Structure 1
């Protein structure tokens, strides 16, 4: 996603200068502008990558995926990674000391983030300005660690290609999900045959461009609905012919209509 051919499009962001190793937990809060990223790095402790709003792209060796505010990525210590945002995000990251992460997954894992964990993460940010109440801060920390140990891995992240050409294609579709160009049209745009595009996309992502686009639109729908956009506006933003067509597609994939999904998430 951040290959040399895209350096003019993406801007590296420096981490906050006052960060210290977690003891046992440290919260980092930072706004990521559109097309910005933290360069490749690793930590001597675990990290929970999360955004309270906007969408993050997380890249580790051999994998790239996008997460919404309903998801977070657990990264064990020593994992080389980079994190960025195509459209901008309110980045929240939990650094967790190795001794406090006993029982956590040993591999990078995507977790669902429910209302309680969201609230606890928000509370942790507020606690940084009130260090006098250490007893309360400790109880919040213990609750967060318990929530993370109980969190079940999910396959809900949106897969993202690592190659420059396909990453550019996916970024264009994500920025304009109503773009209706076919695989053949995109292949001509990218200077390759449709067969080559299909083969490369399935090799990198594990699904067809059509399937990925359908999944991307639903992923984007959750992001827009979570930001307060109404169902009709979301349907138009995503390129559906009518709100009813969007509701049908959402219910078919998610098992419930959009409003019910958002009510449950709330």
Structure 2
């Protein structure tokens, strides 16, 4: 993967302690392999962003921030039109954030702090108040759980075939016990393996696969009820609750904002 800096990045003064950029991205936007002189936080308003690193693939829905430390090559792909915010972090504040690229879950306070910068279209920090806000933002992010990916992958011989099948058929409602028989294991062994290998339960993993499919279907004319049934939910309310837990807003609200083309900061 080439080690390429963007010329526009190299022309910027160092973050003081943050530098923010705002951009409207079109659907199917791709960025070839590049790296940044500073650590970068990426925030999207809707949809899903894919980041490809040398040994890692980050898939980030809109209620997550992606964090890539300085100097790490990566490429990016945006699946649908959205509002995008890039935040460069000074070397000093970057020490508070993880040493490896990962996803950081947003919180209402983190969203509000970024919202304020966005509404003012602030790039460099203008005064002490802005600097204090920047430091609070990074401090709060440093307290967030760092996830290696939203959609986990595994080469484990028991888990890998299950993940492949679920991604091919998100509506697959087979129980963990049924899968255990399929892969010649036991339900208890599989449950332990999901936690140790992926850091989440079988049910949590399946929900994440389903929500990524739901994000794609919400771009179409399918009703919320139809999407719920297609994903194997017996009631729309169960689907809505799962979606809101993972994405931060209801499917209907997500679709509305997608159609309006607005950020939901």
Q: Does 1:261 align with 2:245?
A: yes
* 1:92-116 superposed Cα distances (whole Å, 9 cap, x missing partner): 1110011221222111111111111
- Partners of 2:19 and 2:171 in 1: how far apart? 41
- Partners of 2:36 and 2:45 in 1: how far apart? 22
Q: Does 1:143 align with 2:136?
A: yes
* 1:147-178 superposed Cα distances (whole Å, 9 cap, x missing partner): 12111113551358xxxxxxxxxxxxx9xx99
The partner residue of 1:65 within 46, 58, 65 is 58
Q: Secondary structure at the match of 2:99?
A: coil
RMSD of aligned residue pairs (Cα, Å): 4.2
- Partners of 2:33 and 2:139 in 1: how far apart? 29
Matched length: 203
Q: How far 1:129 sits from its partner (Å)?
A: 5.1
* 1:112-156 superposed Cα distances (whole Å, 9 cap, x missing partner): 111111111121223445989613212211211111211111355
Q: How far 1:54 sits from its partner (Å)?
A: 2.4
* 1:51-101 superposed Cα distances (whole Å, 9 cap, x missing partner): 122221111112223211111111111110112211222111110011221
**Do the aligned partners of residues 37 and 75 (structure 1) sit closer, same or farther apart at CA in structure 2, a change above 3 Å counting?**
same
Q: How far 1:224 sits from its partner (Å)?
A: 8.1
Q: Secondary structure at the match of 1:78?
A: coil
**Do the aligned partners of residues 58 and 234 (structure 1) sit closer, same or farther apart at CA in structure 2, a change above 3 Å counting?**
farther
Aligned twin of 1:92: 85
Q: Secondary structure at the match of 1:53?
A: coil
Give structure 2 stretches of 5+ with no counterpart: 1-5, 154-166, 173-196, 199-203, 251-265
- Partners of 2:121 and 2:47 in 1: how far apart? 23
Aligned twin of 2:224: 234
Q: Does 1:36 align with 2:36?
A: no
- Partners of 1:82 and 1:153 in 2: how far apart? 20
**Do the aligned partners of residues 100 and 247 (structure 1) sit closer, same or farther apart at CA in structure 2, a change above 3 Å counting?**
same
Q: Is the 8 A contact 1:55 1:88 kept in 2?
A: no
- Partners of 1:242 and 1:29 in 2: how far apart? 38
How do 1:45-84 residues align onto structure 2 when only pairs under 5 Å count? Answer: 45-84=38-77
Aligned twin of 2:187: none
Q: Does 1:124 align with 2:114?
A: no
TM-score by length of 2: 0.60
